[in-house]
Amino acid sequence: MRLIIRADASASVGTGHVMRSSTIAAEFLKLGHAVCYAGSIDPMSLILERFQELSIPYPVLDPVGFESNHENDILLIDSYSVTPSDPFIARERWFKLCSISDSATPKYNVDLSIKPSLSQRFELDNGFRTLSGPNYVLLRNSIVKTQPRDPNDSTPLRILIAGGGSDPSGFCNEVTKALRELPDDFTADIFSDNIDLAHQSDPRIRIHKVSLLLDEFAKTADLALTLASSLSIEFIAREIPVGIACAFENQRRGFNEMVSSEFAAPIGSRNNSGEWVIDLGMLKKLIGSSFLRNNLRLKISGLIDMNGPKRVAQEILK
């Protein structure tokens, strides 16, 4: 079989579509199947690093003029911009059609839909099956669970902050601004290509370019601050206490689910004017209260077993 992944990535779109679909690509490659991407994918450092890690060719295929084999090719769509009537995704062109979808994804006519969510949903839309919940969370194989902080550890609290591949909402900048108002002793490692470097005048702040180096910092993080996206689910899978914010409407459902389930603490959102409202009080609690952080960790302990991509690949190949 050959897996063709139709996805896009750019500074405005972000890297989420490619990064989460790449977890399924990795499983197909392990099984000896061919994998390639098609779409408009800009050469962003995080994307190139991930493609190199998996030996996926770049530049990617141009959907226009691509010849598929309907007896051998499986199409996986992860996009907000591809319309259901796009000739590239016509059913007769493919052996099987699958999609990774959330609230902003068009209603594609597929055989299988994967919904990145910590809530298990049983849905049949137009007759296709849906996979969701902790057992089908799409995680890179470099993600590992963290150990709780040693109670005798007197070093400053280690905070990890990330807003996604391109951080188009400016989340990292806003939450860092809020953190600098707090007198607490901490170190904050921020992964963003879209942040004011002047924040580094605060000795507690360290800024890094977006890269897979984030995985190494995550291994020792005591607290993660991020958006209600695939990245927040990665931190929860690592069993790091998480503060989440909502930047876009397509994140609203996941934000509400994680907060209501007490898997993460709410730290802010963007209003209708696009301005950030950061909950400084909650940030103070997350940094100052080991009790709150421990409770968050207990809620997510054992929730995700890291085998989601393998299960999804098996379901696609059934």
pLDDT of residue 103: 83
| Residues 83-105: tens digit of each pLDDT | 999 999 999 999 999 999 988 89
Q: Region 196-204: what's the mean pLDDT?
A: 95
Handedness of CA 144, 147, 153, 158 (dihedral sign): positive
Please state, for a pLDDT cut of 70, what percent of the chain lies above it. Answer: 97
Q: Region 51-71: what's the mean pLDDT?
A: 94
pLDDT of residue 122: 54
Q: Region 105-110: what's the mean pLDDT?
A: 92
**Fold category of 2-141+306-317 in CATH:** Rossmann fold (3.40.50)
pLDDT band at residue 127 under the 50/70/90 scheme = low
Q: Tell whether the model's pLDDT for residue 165 goes beyond 80.
A: no
Indicate the residue type of 170. G
| Residues 150-163: tens digit of each pLDDT | 889 999 999 999 99
**Helices 16-30 and 45-54 sit at what angle, rounded to 10 degrees?**
10
Query: Going by C-beta distance under 8 Å and a sequence separation of 6 or more, which residues neighbour residue 281?
Result: none
Measured between alpha carbons, how far is residue 206 from residues 158, 172, 187 in Å?
A: 11, 12, 8
Please state, for a pLDDT cut of 90, what percent of the chain lies above it. Answer: 86
Q: Tell whether the model's pLDDT for residue 238 goes beyond 90.
A: yes
**Helices 252-260 and 230-237 sit at what angle, rounded to 10 degrees?**
30
What pTM, to 2 d.p., does this model score? 0.93
Indicate the residue type of 10. S
Of 277, 30, 252, 268, nearest in space to 140 by CA: 30
| Residues 132-151: tens digit of each pLDDT | 999 999 999 999 999 998 88
Spatial separation of the C-alpha atoms in residues 265 and 300, rounded to whole Å: 12
- Specify which residues 270 forms β-bridges with: 276
Q: Which residue has the higher pLDDT, 253 or 22?
A: 22
CB–CB of 241/223 below 8 Å?
Answer: yes
pLDDT band at residue 302 under the 50/70/90 scheme = very high
pLDDT of residue 194: 87
| Residues 206-218: tens digit of each pLDDT | 999 999 999 999 9
pLDDT of residue 166: 76
Instruction: Give me the residue spans of the domains in the chain.
Output: 2-141+306-317, 157-300
Pairing relationship of beta strands 129-132 and 223-227 according to DSSP bridges: unpaired
CB–CB of 210/193 below 8 Å?
Answer: yes
Q: Tell me, yes or no, if the two domains 2-141+306-317 and 157-300 fold the same way.
A: yes
| Residues 184-196: tens digit of each pLDDT | 999 999 999 989 9
The answer as to CATH 3.30.450.20 being correct for domain 157-300 is no
Q: Tell whether the model's pLDDT for residue 18 goes beyond 90.
A: yes
Handedness of CA 146, 149, 154, 157 (dihedral sign): positive
pLDDT of residue 250: 87
Mean pLDDT of all residues belonging to the chain? 94
